[in-house]
């Protein structure tokens, strides 16, 4: 089966079939046989509300006010919608309508593409990288964060927790600072929390949803949009089911009004979300998936670090996600790393669009066999540079 | 099963299960079980290219250049994207970036909602209505079309053929004028041709796709975007599969660049399109559907006209679509007709958002039983007005 790692073909995690219970839930829609416009069932809405309450920190508020939910056909549209809200507000206030959009870098490239597509600037906040031998760690640079969010045109922070591509699960303390700085500078905070069900060690690096900080950070409620989806965990990215929680009614109204161009959520997507969040088999499947991915993560780290010295390669050991960020500045390759490795038959997400030219992103959500093929090809490419072979 | 007509619940045409062959095509995706990001298969692309060539008039050009196809998760996003292209062009030319969007009225309300959502004005071009007894007919007002498209800010015509809600299948001569006026005034022409497979009498009112006029109208190629989907015919609106044909590479590049916020097309959508356009059973199913809908159309007309005088009610006999437009100006109801009939238990699309307050749109794509329930309730409402009962 094709996989991003060796075919450059983007079904990510195409190798993993969705849980049987989820597929059965979809099959029941297929049995129904009518695919006209549809709304989520009461059960599906309740399941999603519970999910937002329990995992993302809303603590019952969404279940009590299910209108807080904004159904979406994916996460990417939401990035665009929040930028439009900021632009709309500038227009309504008859202010200079120019809006800048901040993100920490490196970051999943679609975050950096959103601003320009909407006629907004991008402000990059480089994360602080430290290396311990091979191991690369990323931390927040609070000073740059503060200065950047304080720029007069900065109206939106596109945030990602757990962070793609570093795999960081931001701590409660880090998130508190981010939320407080957004309030201080009156910046809308879009928190993409799609990776929150793929945290490897919930004890040492527990996931905190931004919804959990609403009480502690006055003013956050008026600025927060949390988005998530079962897409990454359950391999249902193209079922077009995602959702946001927008606790502030005024912000919600605006968020909806600028997103009228969005596609529908298919009944298959609702069925998938219902099963993913309520079926005990899906919960067990997720734990097995985590075990498999954790082993792949460690294997990837071991193979690369055993074969390449830290002067040539540094990499993250992600706390979450099925992505590893590999920095190869030390290789001294002067061309783009993505196309370079593509020629060696391994498809890595190039670093430049993610805001960090010396890195590449490796997706290890595949079978061990496919992973090994990809790692061999990656090593062959590195070997060519180091030994000129 | 719920239906828009009597429940105000929008699965349109929810009553009709999609063809078995289409559902089997979807089942094969379900068997595969991986729902990560996916591209259309070569077979699916070829089927859609053929469809655009044969039905929409591109005469082999799309099959020869499949990159002409723009995959979309629905038709509505495309309306927004073309307005953004016009705005982008104004900005690039450093002209006054204000853009107006023209549509003939009445029209499906989403056409009128697109402009304001994108920060553009709407220019309405009322169709000329003539009545022959009960029967209402709509024609183009060429003079108003010419003047409106000639306004300096007018940069887009959102066009619909066959026309929702009048059910008109525009003639080749009418379309030639529309295309020529768009070229004359340098206006982008977005032709939504989603109803083209629901034409009742292809001999007397043959469908002409705008692609068929490319040779005859120089300059049309640079301005034309045709969009369609199997959604209406095969009741697959929420499978999020739609596509456009954009023969001009420069226009296509811009159309894609402003639509990066769009959702994915699910693998189920690709499977549905492949079956809809290639499986002989789906072709036969469509002919049976047309027979059923034609009988419903005639029945609706007969029941309403038998019971209500032409001074109170006039209506279209649509040449295509499963929609009838009913004008009840003669009833003298001073409140909105939509909510008025909703109180009588029948859900008709209100006229005001469609740009014609005295009308309502009735969807007859339902079982005869449900249709009769809806018609009875409609007649009861009318009776209350006429006889004060």
pLDDT in tens, A126-168: 999 999 999 999 999 999 999 999 999 999 999 999 999 999 9
- What span, in angstroms and rounded, lies between the C-alpha atoms of B65 and B327? 44
Indicate the residue of A11, A235, A260 with minimum beta-carbon distance to B117. A260
A22 phi/psi in degrees, rounded to 5: -70, -45
- Mind listing the pLDDT tens digit for each residue in A172-196? 999 999 999 999 999 999 999 999 9
Nearest CA-CA partner of A212 in A43, A62, A46, A104: A62
Counting every residue written for chain B, the total comes to: 389
Task: Give the pLDDT band of residue B7 (cuts 50, 70, 90).
Answer: low
Q: Which of A174, A101, A102, A109 is nearest to A138 (CA)?
A: A174
Phi, psi of B234 (to 5 degrees): -105, 10
Question: In a mutagenesis test of the B interface, which of A35, A98, A236 is the best target, namely the one with the most B β-carbons within 10 Å?
Answer: A35
| Residues B261, A14: C-beta atoms closer than 8 Å | no
**Whole-angstrom distance, CA of residue B369 vs CA of residue B365:** 11
What φ, ψ does residue A292 adopt, rounded to 5°? -65, -45
Instruction: Tell me if B258 and A117 make a contact (CB, 8 A cut-off).
Output: yes
User: Predicted confidence band at B229 (pLDDT cuts at 50, 70, 90)?
Assistant: very high
Interface test with A, best of B263, B272, B275, B366 (most A CBs within 10 A): B263
Residues ≥6 apart with Cβ < 8 Å to B291: none
Residues A271, A236: contact at Cβ < 8 Å? no
Give this complex's ipTM: 0.88
Distance of CA A122 to the CA centre of its chain: 18
Q: What is the pLDDT of residue B389?
A: 55
pLDDT number for residue A14: 57
- Cβ-contact B326, B314 below 8 angstroms: yes
What digits encode the pLDDT tens for the residues B291-320?
999 999 999 999 999 999 999 999 999 999
Nearest to B240 among A26, A235, A263 (CB): A263
Q: How far is CA B232 from CA A82, B7, B220, in A?
A: 31, 19, 27
CB pairs under 8 A between A and B: 158
Structure tokens at B299: 């029945």
Residues 6+ apart with CB under 8 A from A161: A169, A170, A175, A191, A192, A193, A195, A196, A207, A208, A210
Q: Maximum Cα–Cα distance for chain B, whole Å?
A: 64
DSSP type of residue B73:
S
Q: Does residue B12 carry a pLDDT above 50?
A: no
Residue B364: pLDDT above 50?
Answer: yes
Q: What pLDDT score was predicted for residue B273?
A: 97
Burial track A306-316 (b if 16+ CB lie within 10 A, e otherwise): eebeeebbbbb
Are B238 and A37 inside 8 Å of each other by CB?
yes
Q: Which of these ranges, A326-335, B78-87, B161-170, has the smallest mean pLDDT?
A: A326-335
Contacting residues of B for A21, CB less than 8 Å apart: none
Cα separations in angstroms, A66 against A62, A70, A74:
5, 9, 19
The tokens for B277 are 């356009």
A381, A339 contact by CB (below 8 A): no
Closest by Cα among B360, B362, B299, B372 to B328:
B360
Q: What is the percentage of chain B residues whose pLDDT exceeds 90? A: 84
Give per-residue pLDDT as tens, B48-107. Answer: 999 999 999 999 999 999 999 999 999 999 999 999 999 999 988 877 678 999 999 999
In order of A299, B27, B293, B352, the CA distances from A2 in angstroms are 21, 20, 44, 51
pLDDT at B48: 98
- The C-alpha atoms of residue A300 and residue A287 are separated, in whole angstroms, by 20
Per-residue confidence at B1, pLDDT binned at 50, 70, 90? Answer: very low
d(Cα B267, Cα B34) in Å, to the nearest integer?
A: 9
**What's the mean per-residue pLDDT of chain A?**
93
Give the per-residue pLDDT at A385.
87
- The structure tokens 């209100």 sit at B350
Which helix (H) or strand (E) element contains residue A288? helix A280-307
Contact A37 B10 (CB under 8 A): yes
Q: Does B105 sit behind a cis peptide bond, omega within 30 degrees of 0 on the bond before it?
A: no
Binned at pLDDT 50, 70 and 90, residue A7 comes out as low
The encoded tokens of residue A278 equal: 């309520």
**A interface test, pick of B30, B34, B35 with most A CB neighbours within 10 Å:** B35
**Would you list the DSSP string of A170-194?**
--HHHHHHHHHHHHHTT-EEEEE-T
Cα-based angle A282, A287, A290 (whole degrees, multiple of 5): 125
Supply the pLDDT for residue A10.
40
pLDDT over 70 at B17, yes or no: yes
- For chain A, percent of residues with pLDDT exceeding 70: 96
Antiparallel, parallel or unpaired: β A242-245 and B323-327: unpaired
Identify all chain A residues contacting B71, using CB atoms and an 8 Å cutoff: none
């Amino acid at each position: 089966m094709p996989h991003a790692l060796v075919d450059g073909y983007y079904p990510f995690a195409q190798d993993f079939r969705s849980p049987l219970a989820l597929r059965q839930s979809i099959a029941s829609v297929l049995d129904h046989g009518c695919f006209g416009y549809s709304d989520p069932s009461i059960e599906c809405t309740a399941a999603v509300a519970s999910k937002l309450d329990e995992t993302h920190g809303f603590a019952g508020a969404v279940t009590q006010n299910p209108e807080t939910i904004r159904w979406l056909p994916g996460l990417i549209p939401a990035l665009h919608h929040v930028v439009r809200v900021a632009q709309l507000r500038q227009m309504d206030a008859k202010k200079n309508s120019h809006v800048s959009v901040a993100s920490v870098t490196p970051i999943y490239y679609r975050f950096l593409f959103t601003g320009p597509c909407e006629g907004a600037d991008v402000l990059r906040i480089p994360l602080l990288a430290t290396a311990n031998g091979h191991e690369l760690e990323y931390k927040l640079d609070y000073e740059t964060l503060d200065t950047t969010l304080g720029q007069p045109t900065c109206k939106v922070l596109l945030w990602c927790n757990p962070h793609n591509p570093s795999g960081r699960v931001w701590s409660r303390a880090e998130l508190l600072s981010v939320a407080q700085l957004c309030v201080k500078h009156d910046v809308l905070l879009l928190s993409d929390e799609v990776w929150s069900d793929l945290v490897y060690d919930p004890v040492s690096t527990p996931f905190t949803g931004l919804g959990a900080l609403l009480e502690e950070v006055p003013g956050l409620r008026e600025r927060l949009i949390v988005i998530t989806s079962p897409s990454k965990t359950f391999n249902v990215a193209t079922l077009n089911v995602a959702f946001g929680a927008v606790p502030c009614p005024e912000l919600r109204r605006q968020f909806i009004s600028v997103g009228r161009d969005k596609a529908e959520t298919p009944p298959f997507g609702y069925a998938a979300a219902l099963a993913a969040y309520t079926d005990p088999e899906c919960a067990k499947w997720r734990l097995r998936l985590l075990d498999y991915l954790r082993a792949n993560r460690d294997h990837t780290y071991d193979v690369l670090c055993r074969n390449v010295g830290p002067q040539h390669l540094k990499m993250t050991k992600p706390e979450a996600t099925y992505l590893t960020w590999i920095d190869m500045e030390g290789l001294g390759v002067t061309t783009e790393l993505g196309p370079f490795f593509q020629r060696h038959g391994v498809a890595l997400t190039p670093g430049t669009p993610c805001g960090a030219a010396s890195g590449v992103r490796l997706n290890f959500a595949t079978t061990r066999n496919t992973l090994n093929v990809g790692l061999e090809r990656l090593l062959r490419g590195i070997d060519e540079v180091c030994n000129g072979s």
